Chains A and B, each alone.
Chain A
Amino acid sequence: MKILIVEDDYLFAEEMRQDILAAPEFNDAEVEVVGTEQEFRDRFEQIQQAGYDLIILDVMIRWVDPSPEARKPDADVLEDGYFRAGIRCLQMLRQAQATKETPVVIHSNMDEKDILAAIAMRHVHEVSKIVPKWNADPLMKAVRQAIKSA
Chain B
Amino acid sequence: MFHPAQLAVKLVEQAAAQKTFSGVAALLRTLAEDLGADGCVLFQLTPLKRGQRLRERELIATAQYFREHEKPVWRKLTMESRTGANVLRAAGAAGPPQAARVPVERLGSRVFEEDSRSPIAKELGLRSFVSLPVWLGSELYGAVNLCRCSEGELMEEAIEAFVAVAPMIPQLSVNIVNQAGFDLWRTVGELLKPGRRDSKMSKTLDQVAARVAETFNTFESSIYLVPSNGGDTIHLEGTQWPFREEHHQRSFRKGESLTGKVFETKEPNLVESLKIGDPTFDLEDVAGEHVKASVEGELPPLGWLAAPILDGVRNYGVLRTCMSRTGPYYFDKRHLEFLVLVAGQVGDWVGIRRREDRLRREAQWLESLVKGLTRLNQQVHDGWNMPAPQNYQKQLLVSAMSVAAEAIPEASNLSVRLVDPTGEFLEIAETLGEAWHSGSAKEIERRRKLRFPLKGKDTNTAGAWVHRERRTLWIPDLPKSEFISHSFPESRSMIVAPIIAGEEFFGTFDLRSERPAAFPDRAKNVAEMIGRQLGLYISLGRKIGELSAAKRRLSSSLNAQSMTFENLAHQLKTPMFLAMRRATRLAERVAGRPDLSAEVSALRGLCRRSEQIVKNVRFFAEIANDTKPTIVETTLDRELLVKSLEEAARDHALLLDPKRSIVFKVDAESFQVLDHVVAQADLGLLDQMVGNLLDNAAKYSFPKTEVRIRGGLARNGGYFYIGVSNRGVAVSPEEARTLADRGQRSDTVIWRKQEGSGIGLHLVEEILEAHKGHLEIVPTNSQGVTEFRLLFPVAGALAKV
Contact yes or no, B655 A66, CB < 8 A: no
Question: Contacts of A35 on B, CB cut-off 8 Å?
Answer: 657
Contact yes or no, A11 B602, CB < 8 A: yes
Contacts A10-B655, A11-B606, A63-B750 known; A82 to B703 CB distance under 8 Å?
Answer: no
Q: Is B112 at the interface (CB under 8 A from chain A)?
A: no
* A37 (CB) vs chain B CBs: closest residue: B754
Q: How far does the alpha carbon of A63 sit from the alpha carbon of B753 in the complex, in Å?
A: 9
Q: Is B729 at the interface (CB under 8 A from chain A)?
A: yes
Q: How far does the alpha carbon of A73 sit from the alpha carbon of B660 in the complex, in Å?
A: 20
Question: Contacts of A63 on B, CB cut-off 8 Å?
Answer: 750-751, 754
Contact with A along B604-647 (1 / 0, CB 8 A): 01100000000000000000000000000000000000000000
B-contacting residues, A4-29, CB 8 Å: 10-11
Question: Contacts of A66 on B, CB cut-off 8 Å?
Answer: 699-702, 728-729, 751
Contacts A10-B655, A11-B606, A72-B750 known; A65 to B660 CB distance under 8 Å?
Answer: yes
Question: Contacts of B656 on A, CB cut-off 8 Å?
Answer: 10
* Number of interchain pairs (Cβ within 8 Å): 41
Contact yes or no, B754 A62, CB < 8 A: yes
Q: Is B246 at the interface (CB under 8 A from chain A)?
A: no
B-contacting residues, A89-104, CB 8 Å: none
Question: Contacts of A68 on B, CB cut-off 8 Å?
Answer: 702
Q: Is B156 at the interface (CB under 8 A from chain A)?
A: no
A-contacting residues, B356-378, CB 8 Å: none
Contact yes or no, A62 B655, CB < 8 A: no
Q: Chain A CB within 10 Å — which of B657, B703, B751 has the most?
A: B751
The binding surface of chain A is classed by DSSP as loop
Q: How far does the alpha carbon of A91 sit from the alpha carbon of B510 in the complex, in Å?
A: 65
B-contacting residues, A49-91, CB 8 Å: 60, 62-68, 70, 72-73, 78, 81-82
Q: Chain A CB within 10 Å — which of B751, B754, B755 has the most?
A: B754
Contact yes or no, A60 B755, CB < 8 A: yes
Question: Contacts of B753 on A, CB cut-off 8 Å?
Answer: 81-82
Min Cβ gap A10→B in Å is 4
* A8 (CB) vs chain B CBs: closest residue: B755
A-contacting residues, B38-79, CB 8 Å: none
Min Cβ gap B748→A in Å is 11
Q: How far does the alpha carbon of A65 sit from the alpha carbon of B658 in the complex, in Å?
A: 13
Min Cβ gap A5→B in Å is 13
Question: Contacts of B751 on A, CB cut-off 8 Å?
Answer: 62-66, 70
* B701 (CB) vs chain A CBs: closest residue: A66
Q: How far does the alpha carbon of A24 sit from the alpha carbon of B299 in the complex, in Å?
A: 148
Min Cβ gap A89→B in Å is 15
* A65 (CB) vs chain B CBs: closest residue: B660
* B729 (CB) vs chain A CBs: closest residue: A66
* B749 (CB) vs chain A CBs: closest residue: A66
Question: Contacts of B750 on A, CB cut-off 8 Å?
Answer: 63, 70, 72-73, 78
Question: Contacts of A70 on B, CB cut-off 8 Å?
Answer: 750-751
* A85 (CB) vs chain B CBs: closest residue: B754
Question: Contacts of A67 on B, CB cut-off 8 Å?
Answer: 702-703
Q: How far does the alpha carbon of A72 sit from the alpha carbon of B751 in the complex, in Å?
A: 8
Min Cβ gap B607→A in Å is 12
Q: How far does the alpha carbon of A62 sit from the alpha carbon of B751 in the complex, in Å?
A: 8
Residues in B lying within 8 Å of A, measured CB to CB: 602, 605-606, 655-658, 660, 699-703, 728-729, 750-751, 753-755
**Apart from A10-B656, A65-B703, A82-B753: 10 A-B pairs, beta carbons within 8 A:** A10-B657, A11-B655, A60-B755, A62-B751, A63-B750, A64-B754, A66-B700, A66-B751, A67-B703, A73-B750
The 4 A-B residue pairs with the shortest CB-CB distance in the complex, in nearest-first order: A10-B657, A62-B754, A82-B754, A66-B728
Provide a sorted-by-A list of 9 A–B residue pairs whose CB atoms are within 8 angstroms: A60-B755, A62-B755, A63-B751, A64-B754, A65-B703, A66-B701, A66-B702, A66-B729, A68-B702
